[in-house]
Amino acid sequence: MNLSECYITAITPYGSQNEQSHEIEEYIVTSSAEIGIVDTPRAQQVISDCAPKGYTAEIPLVSIGCAGLFAAVMKFAAGPARTARILALETPSDFVQSTLDCAQLGAGGDGFVAQDVAYVLDLQKFPEGALARIEHCEIMSRPSCFAGTSKLARNFLARLEELDSICPDARIVTFENVSGYARRLMQAVKADVSFPEQRQFLETVEQDERHFMTVRPLLDLQKQMAEDSLRPLIVTCLGAGGRIGMFAVTPMDVSMAERSVMQMWPMPQIDAHFIEVRGQPTPPPDQPMELWYMNRAYFGRENFCFEWSINGDNFLCTS
């Protein structure tokens, strides 16, 4: 999967997406609420409104909790399409909240409150007209073994060190939120003997229980690129089940000379794994199904997500 030729052309909230400057060949939806959300009228409307002009093909929905955006980027990078639109769909908030509660992430669990939000990310595999280039994207996962959290922390730090080679002087947005697990994981990161004293994490937009799910990385990316459009940026985001999504982005203003130096330090090959989910009925909109991302059988898998197919004509799950 070649991420060095994956470019960002637009990051926009639902309702203000830009006019298409060229044909968009692929349309991918991601949501922490998994496939059940597409049977709600609100989600159907947003999917329809954000669809590329003339798009009639089936639409993949990829999901792995709040890290789904990273899975969608990897799906595009690994496929034949040269342009894509990714819709991070977290509306209607009452349905999303019910899934958070089911996963013990809302209410009496971590207390997260789902925000009613949807964002669009447009990507292409050529640099003309792009805002930034995605240098690296992956989903790390807590190893299913003793001291798995500490090992995830060490793996995360090791990856940041590798990213220093291709994104020198990069700013890093923290994955930490107000959940107890996020704080324990960050403590493990900072407790590592190799943690550089000068390593500083930028704050995320999530400072309290208001939760933006798959949209959070786009909000962090948009905010930080607006504040500093010249330095590389690493955005990280926690996903339930001990997962960390991360991507590294360099602005298009980086000189070609700097890019040639970066390319002397190749990152490890990332292979994404998509499990196609079929044969499972979609529940009524007010009764979310059992969440696949909370199934312990799938914990510990790197660059892993679930995939459903949405019919482009009536937005019903094709399974």
The per-residue pLDDT for range 98-109, each reduced to its tens digit, is 999 999 898 888
Mean pLDDT of 159-164: 92
Give the lowest-confidence range in 34-48, 144-158, 182-196, 262-276: 262-276
**Which has more pLDDT, 257 or 288?**
288
Task: Collapse the DSSP code of 48 into the 3-class scheme (helix H, G, I; strand E, B; otherwise coil) and give the result.
Answer: helix
Mean pLDDT of 304-316: 74
Per the rule left: phi > 0, alpha: psi between -120 and 50, beta: everything else, 123 is: beta
Residue % of the chain over a pLDDT of 70: 83
d(CA 238, CA 189): 13
User: CB of 227 within 8 A of CB of 79?
Assistant: no
Q: Which two tokens stand for residue 81?
A: 């399409």
d(CA 10, CA 87): 12
User: CB of 43 within 8 A of CB of 285?
Assistant: no
CA dihedral (165, 166, 167, 169) in degrees, to 10, reads 30
User: CB of 44 within 8 A of CB of 315?
Assistant: yes
Mean pLDDT estimate for the chain: 86
Which residues lie closer than 8 Å to 224 by C-beta, 6 or more apart? 171, 173, 202, 233, 235
Q: What is the pLDDT of residues 56-92, one digit of tens each?
A: 899 999 999 999 999 999 999 999 999 999 999 999 9
Q: What is the pLDDT of residues 250-281, one digit of tens each?
A: 998 753 445 544 444 454 555 666 666 654 54
pTM summary value: 0.89
In terms of Cα–Cα distance, which of 229, 232, 181, 233 is closest to 204? 233
**What is the per-residue pLDDT for 156?**
96
Question: How many CA atoms are closer than 13 Å to the CA of 15, on its beta-carbon side?
Answer: 3
Q: Residue 146 above 90 pLDDT?
A: no
